Amino acid sequence: MITGHLGVAAAAKSPAREIPLWVLMLATLWLDVVFLPLLLLGIEEIDDLPGTDGGYGNVIIHADYTHSFIGAILLSIAFGVVAARWWGGRAGFILIGVAFSHWVLDLIVHHADLPFMPGNAGDLPRFGLGLWDVPWLAAIVELLLLIAGAWVYWRAAREVTAGREATVRMRAHLLAGLMVVFGVVVLLTDVYIG
């Protein structure tokens, strides 16, 4: 899931208007941003779901540090603390929530591959509600999150541009429209190309 996370970032702009959209997007993807170098180093891994050739939803993700419950909390707090230096304490708290929303959404779609402790210490049961078992449904949920996020963003953007010149007001509509179009492109490449 990527597009759904971006929808959450867009929606978060409404209550956190002082935070740039790119920062909200970085926050919502933060666990994956840290995951990428660990993947390249072989510390975390992605395997095909047994009996499949991989692709959208057909993967077991061994992100045992970045996507463990405790690891996700620690990474989210770290992101919020650093961001608070630029955008203030309130923004920092919001960004902690936005960053941790990644784990919550992943919990819904992932197969049971999310550990509780970093490195799966204690060999506790792993989490994952497995919406990816029905890939088309997972994709629809992502699309709905994107559309809902773009709509909330659009409403906030309309508020702050009300009474401004037509060109400024038009930017709000343009941005929300592009958000949906680009989001659909991201979703389609995720589902069909990877």
Partner 1 sequence: MAFVLALLLFVVVLGVLDRALPWPSAGNGGRGR
Length, in residues, of the chain:
194
Toward partner 1, which CB reaches closer, 115 or 139?
A: 139
Q: How far is the CA of 167 from the CAs of 31, 32, 162, 163, in angstroms?
A: 37, 36, 11, 11
Is-contact 68 81, C-beta < 8 A? no
Shortest Cβ distance from residue 80 to partner 1 (Å)? 14
Cα angle for residues 114, 25, 169 (degrees, 5° grid)? 150
Q: How far is the CA of 135 from the CAs of 47, 73, 77, 166, 192, in angstroms?
A: 17, 27, 31, 42, 11
Toward partner 1, which CB reaches closer, 22 or 125?
A: 22
Shortest Cβ distance from residue 191 to partner 1 (Å)? 10
Among positions 136, 155, 168, 173, the unique one binding partner 1 when judged by CB under 8 A: 168
Among positions 15, 54, 88, 119, the unique one binding partner 1 when judged by CB under 8 A: 88
Structural tokens at position 190: 């995720």
- Among residue numbers 10 through 49, which ones bind partner 1 (CB under 8 A)? 13, 17-22, 25-26
Residues engaged in binding partner 1 (CB under 8 A): 2, 6, 13, 17-22, 25-26, 86-88, 91, 157, 160-161, 164, 168, 171-172, 174-175, 178-179, 182-183, 185-186, 189-190, 193-194
